[in-house]
Structure 1
Amino acid sequence: MKTAFAVAASLIAINPALASEDITDQYPGSPLYQKPVEFIPNVWSAIGATAPPTYENNGHNNNLSFIVTGDGVIVINGGAAYVLAKALHDEIKIITDQPVKLVINENGQGHAMLGNSYWAEQGVPILAHVDAAEAFEDDGAQSLQQHQRVLQEKAEGTTLVGPTETFEGARTIEMGDYVIEVLHLGPAHSPGDISVWLPKQSLVITGDMAFHERLLPIFEDAITADWLETWDTEFEALGATYVIPGHGHPTNMDQVRRYTRDYLVYIRGKIGEHIDAGGDLTDAYYVDQSPYAHLDTFEELATKNAGRVFEQMEWE
């Protein structure tokens, strides 16, 4: 007999209508794109838009999750803005009297770290992988400028604040009723990507290791061969039952495998065929990606992804 959690995960996985980049805001009473939902007991997530960051969605286009441990709250992602971090904290205060004791940044991108300015103001420690901290130090000013252009007056209060502590490899946190493993599994979407693993609950909060409702972006430093190796050798080994991805609704491993690992295999296969046929970069942008055309952000990302994979595979 399925548990209620398994049923919920199944319903989310088969109902893509739950997410749409055409809906600008699903929680008008808050800067958050959606009201936080409890996926399994004490594990919550405010699901962001599957669209790029906009003024209308307040830059909330990734998932802001938190765990109510019984002895404090752990937040996963600082958020893309001061206003978003504060809005998340307001929701946490409605749910529990337990204080926020730790914020974990999933990587060094703006949507993970720009909201640190709020959490630091509250005196909350902020943890990130050392590579993510370095990436934010290098690129944070550019992320902030982009954020300010998009959010305009909504960017008020957002400043550059990096993590207060870093780690390499893994960090285990015991708090309340939970053992929480913060894992850097290897190269994936961006420097310092981490996944938060709850072994007792068989739940992983993946960060940008895994996507399923929107097309994943391949950045210059996202080496697809390395991402696949990390997935196959480390991420799959977790054997997670429940998955909260970096973007999109909570789901299961089958869904994120289909739209992350299998997409990477697919696009590398198409580009490989193109290279073998003597194709160049100009035509590589237009290899067939139609099996994934239904995903949000496909129009924004498909051709860019193909070009970056060509540039990588040309020299492999």
Structure 2
Amino acid sequence: MLKRYALILLAAVTGLFVLTARADYQPVAQKVVDNVYAIVGPLGLRSAENDGLNANFGFVVTPKGVILIDSGASLLGAKKIEAAIGKVTRQPVRWVINTGSQDHRWLGNDYFAGKGTEVIAMSRTAATQAEFAGQHMQSLGRFLGKRVQGTKPLPAPKTLPDSTTLEIGGETLMLAYTDAHFSGDAWVWLPQRGVMFSGDLVYVDRLLGVLPWSSVKNGQKAFHALAALKPAHIVPGHGRVCDLAQAQRETGDYYDFLAGKVGAAAKEMEPIDATLDRYADVPQFGHLENYSELHRANMSRAFTEFESQ
């Protein structure tokens, strides 16, 4: 009887350990090129298990400190990102650059700013952060519960004009607006490295989302501009680090589909329901995660955007 009880207790403790491990997602840095790293988050939803880190982040190690691309969705998320960086280098995070205004791009700003880090974003990015701060904090509370406590929204204090080139830590970084997923979204391009941090312009492995605030027109235009740069490596907003060919198949082609098929139908004033039914099944994108949940809503919002122009 005692032996049986001990086995049951061991199983319970083991199960508890597994649940605890799953609930304590730890981001890991992966090398892209020398001194440039990506942190690839899970493809699923924000949750207390991942502290809202269901997106990609990145950093550049320089002799003068680390340049961090996006700061995480919360105080705890920012600390986890910092811990992942600490396993690569002892250099402190000296600069944070926000590529967007969605929660996981910037709600860790306050944590890093409190350590003396300079937090930077394009001017419209910071303005959109301020506009959506309350809404994002409320939404995160539903996903993260008590784990969002201590998180303070801090729109990027240092703002930059359109199409800016930064020289920091001996690195050249070019920032440009994409305005695709949210107004003020931007990319960070490292021309000397051939590495593009696309922000939420590029999704691979999962279908991109067209939100009420998104613009398919801007997304298509921005992706064409990105492709013209011919990056060797792309750190997308979501999904694995990839090359341009994969980004084209899974994001660029989808923007072209939404604009070229759904948008064209809207311009011709075809009925929206008939259009959505006609393109309900697009096999070339069907393998992407979240396709069944997002595809029809994406088309509907694309139709509305093109219809109103």
- Tell me if TM exceeds 0.5: yes
CA RMSD of aligned residues (A): 2.3
Structure 1 counterpart of 2:160: 167
Equivalent of 2:208 in 209, 212, 216:
216
- Structure 2 residue 262 is matched with structure 1 residue 271: yes
Does structure 1 conserve the Cα–Cα contact (< 8 Å) formed by 2:29 and 2:88?
A: no
Taking the TM superposition and a 5 Å limit, the aligned residue runs for 1:53-64 are: 53-64=46-57
Match of 1:312 in 2: 305
Pairs within 5 Å for 1:78-157: 78-157=71-150
Q: Using the aligned pairs only, state the percent identity.
A: 29
Cα 1:195–1:30 shift into 2, 3 Å: farther
2:179 aligned to 165, 179, 187, which one? 187
1:228 equivalenced with 2:196 (yes/no)? no
TM-score normalized by structure 2? Answer: 0.86
Query: Is 1:201 matched with 2:193?
Result: yes
> In the alignment, residue 222 of structure 1 is paired with which amino acid?
S
Q: Is the 8 A contact 2:36 2:59 kept in 1?
A: yes
Q: Distance in 1 between matches of 2:173 and 2:183?
A: 21
Verify the 8 A CA contact 1:207 1:245 in the aligned structure 2: yes
Greater strand fraction, Structure 1 or Structure 2: 2
Q: Is the 8 A contact 1:267 1:289 kept in 2?
A: no
Note if contact 1:168-1:184 (Cα within 8 Å) is conserved in structure 2. Answer: no
User: Does the Cα contact within 8 Å between 1:102 and 1:127 map onto a contact in 2?
Assistant: yes
Structure 1 counterpart SS, 2:67: strand
Distance 1:258 1:198 in 2: 23
CA contact (8 A) 2:128 2:183 kept: yes
**For the residues of structure 2 that align with 1:152 and 1:251, how far apart are their CA atoms?**
33
Instruction: Name structure 2 gaps, 5 residues minimum.
Output: 1-17
Deviations 1:240-271 (A, max 9, x none): 11111111111111111111111011133332
1:169, distance to aligned residue in structure 2 (A): 1.5
Closer, same or farther in 2 for the Cα pair 1:155/1:283, shift >3 Å? Answer: farther
Q: Is the 8 A contact 1:117 1:157 kept in 2?
A: no
- Normalization by structure 1: what TM-score? 0.84
1:17 corresponding residue in structure 2: none
In the alignment, the residues of structure 2 paired with residue 104 and residue 305 of structure 1 have an alpha-carbon distance, to the nearest angstrom, of: 28
Post-superposition offset of 1:186: 4.2
Runs (4+) of structure 1 moved beyond 6 Å? none
C-alpha deviation, 1:279, in angstroms: 4.3
- Counterpart contact for 2:23–2:48, Cα < 8 Å: no
Aligned residues: 289
Quote how far apart the aligned CAs of 1:94 are: 2.8
Distance 2:74 2:276 in 1: 33
